[in-house]
Amino acid sequence: MTVEAITLTLVVITFGIYIYIGWWAKVKDTSNFFVAGKEIPAVANGAAIAADWMSAASFISMAGLISFLGYDGTIYLMGWTGGYVLLALLLAPYLRKFGRYTVPDFIGDRYYSNGTRAVAAIATIFISLTYVAGQMRGVGIVFSRYLQVDITMGVVIGMAIVAFFAVLGGMKGITWTQVIQYFVLIIAIIIPAAAISLKLTGIPIPQAGLTFSDIAQRLSQLQVDLGMTEYLAPFQNMSGLNVFAVTLALMLGTAGLPHVIVRFYTVKDVRSARWSAGWALIFIALLYTVAPAIGVFAKYNLINTFNDQPIEQVREISWVEKWEETGLLGLDDKNGDGILNFAEDTSPQNEVTIDPDIIVLSTPEVAQLSPFIIALVAAGGLAAALSTASGLLLAMSSAVSHDLYYRIFKPGANEQQRLKVGRIMIFLAVLVAGYFGIHPPGFVGEVVAFAFGIAAASLFPAILLGIFDKRMNREGATWGILVGLIFTVSMILLMRSVEIFGTESQIIESFLGINAQGIGVVGAILNFVISFIISRSTQAPPEEISQMVEDVRVPKVTKKE
């Protein structure tokens, strides 16, 4: 069987499982729709958190970013992993103890204001829409290569599948689907990584192959010999300031992601929330320790495949021809000598253009692994993208149907009305997500980094101050979120004008030397400063709110918790 036939078979099988779970878990009440009835076991919730959090950016794009950025690519490892630890240890147990459905729910009640709730819900929608654009692009890339359809059709197929199990099963269906998707994606990343590690280093464990062999040094020297920057040298692609800013933005953004935070509401008590966080960290580590190895292996194989090779001979390789058809791989004999020159992307001598998003998906083919493993990686990429997309869609649906419709505009709405609005909102969100997946403002990892920056600048300060600052009031929180959100979104749009508006030049390249991926740090600082100043200049929160904050922070000894 061909790679395409095996891929189609695996996709049909896995998608059939996802659809069955969506049908099996169909819900009839809001508790199951929004928080899965708070009955998910800690281990299962840990796997679901890992799948929800390890999006197409982690599976498809992160290794590609590390592959092309070298040392500087570790910002994604440090930022995303450090942010999860920050969320798990500093915020999650307190948020679970507070016991609400969503992040805007917590913010609205903590700051005793429907206005603040509405602002938080709008921020949630901005974050989720930006994030889900990257997931839909990931789906389109996989389908365009392995099912030989264009990216638009691939996105549409992904939209239909996600909409089915999200609309029917809500959080319950999404959770159990994500458990399956986690095991699909982790198997799909570990097996090919182990096979490639064995071929290049003689060690079948990719983490050990990277650490205890000289493959990274060989790659670094190879790049130097070709006139490229040294792979292991720091600050070659980013300034030290940007490395720090992007890492911190990713950390703070991770701790403010609404679709991840809500997962801690799906377990029965605080103890289960803590265990969920621990299990999730173990599950996440399996992928995050493999990604750097794949990045190194992939870059080494690609240079040896393309550099100094006859262009016509390279084009006869099956996978090269098929990736060229997607537009994500380009070969251009600029000097007309018939021989390819692999150089820096920005170099006029470079004759090989590779989209970072194809690194993980193409690596098994470059390494000449079996068709089954190639197809397995494609199924894993789809699982990663769809698992996160479903969580994001529910976060957007909850923000509108629960936080805006039920908590603000129609408090008397019954269960059926709220479920109906929630399902309609998922359907509408799928359509919007599909549009941004077809017309994304950048590659997968970059788009996701924007979402993290927006979360860092808007929701994270309000959550942190809501737990640890009793004096923080609704005026401070509201203005802090608004300033952080508006500033960060505006800066991203100004810096990414090429991709978003189709113009030929950026309006600005950076702000104080910080690029679009790190600008969320500045937004977060503005949020903290505005929140602090305004809260200290206006009336203190009511006494019952201060007492509620104290109760959330101080443990109470009960049989349950």
User: What integer pLDDT is reported at residue 500 of this predicted model?
Assistant: 43
Higher model confidence: residue 366 or residue 27?
A: 366
CA-to-CA distance for 471 and 393, rounded, in angstroms? 34
pLDDT band at residue 525 under the 50/70/90 scheme: very high
Pick from 388, 276, 389: which is nearest to 38 by CA? 276
Q: What is the pLDDT of residues 387-442, one digit of tens each?
A: 777 778 878 888 888 788 888 888 888 878 888 888 888 888 888 878 877 776 65
Pick from 402, 291, 292: which is nearest to 56 by CA? 291
3-state secondary structure of 419: helix
352-354 and 329-331: which strand pairing? antiparallel
pLDDT band at residue 444 under the 50/70/90 scheme: low
User: What integer pLDDT is reported at residue 88 of this predicted model?
Assistant: 82
Q: What domains lie within the chain, and their CATH numbers?
A: 3-299+369-441 (1.20.1730.10)
CA-to-CA distance for 89 and 426, rounded, in angstroms? 31
pLDDT band at residue 31 under the 50/70/90 scheme: low
Question: With 90 as the cut, is the pLDDT of residue 474 above it?
Answer: yes
User: What integer pLDDT is reported at residue 442 of this predicted model?
Assistant: 59
User: What integer pLDDT is reported at residue 168 of this predicted model?
Assistant: 67
3-state secondary structure of 47: helix
User: What integer pLDDT is reported at residue 202 of this predicted model?
Assistant: 93
Contacts of 271 (CB under 8 A, 6+ apart): 560, 561
472-485 burial: b if 16+ Cβ within 10 Å, else e = bbbbbbbbbbbbbb
- pTM, 2 dp: 0.82
Question: With 80 as the cut, is the pLDDT of residue 476 above it?
Answer: yes
Question: With 90 as the cut, is the pLDDT of residue 207 above it?
Answer: yes
Q: What is the pLDDT of residues 247-283, one digit of tens each?
A: 999 999 988 888 888 888 788 887 888 888 889 888 9
Beta bridge partners of 234: none
User: What integer pLDDT is reported at residue 15 of this predicted model?
Assistant: 78
- Six token digits for residue 323: 């990736």
Residue 367: how many other CB atoms lie within 10 Å: 19
% of the chain at pLDDT higher than 90: 24
Q: What is the pLDDT of residues 478-516, one digit of tens each?
A: 999 999 999 999 998 888 654 444 444 557 778 888 988
Q: What is the pLDDT of residues 46-97, one digit of tens each?
A: 898 888 777 777 777 788 888 888 888 888 888 888 888 888 888 888 888 8
User: What integer pLDDT is reported at residue 205 of this predicted model?
Assistant: 94
3-state secondary structure of 352: strand
Higher model confidence: residue 122 or residue 59?
A: 122
Pick from 175, 184, 234, 199: which is nearest to 41 by CA? 175
CA-to-CA distance for 546 and 469, rounded, in angstroms? 9
Question: With 70 as the cut, is the pLDDT of residue 34 above it?
Answer: no
- Main-chain dihedrals φ then ψ at residue 431, nearest 5 degrees: -65, -45
Please, what is the angle between helix 74-86 and helix 291-306, to 10°? Answer: 160
Asked if residue 446 lies in contact with residue 111, where contact means CB atoms within 8 angstroms, the answer is no
Pick from 157, 167, 74, 206: which is nearest to 401 by CA? 167
Beta bridge partners of 329: 354
Task: Give percent helix, percent strand, percent coil of the chain, each to the nearest 5.
Answer: 75, 0, 25
User: What integer pLDDT is reported at residue 53 of this predicted model?
Assistant: 74
CA-to-CA distance for 160 and 101, rounded, in angstroms? 26
Question: With 90 as the cut, is the pLDDT of residue 522 above it?
Answer: yes
Contacts of 373 (CB under 8 A, 6+ apart): 191, 192, 195, 364
Alpha-carbon dihedral angle through residues 251, 459, 125, 404, given to the nearest 10 degrees: 150
Question: With 90 as the cut, is the pLDDT of residue 116 above it?
Answer: yes
Which residue is listed with tokens 């959080």?
171
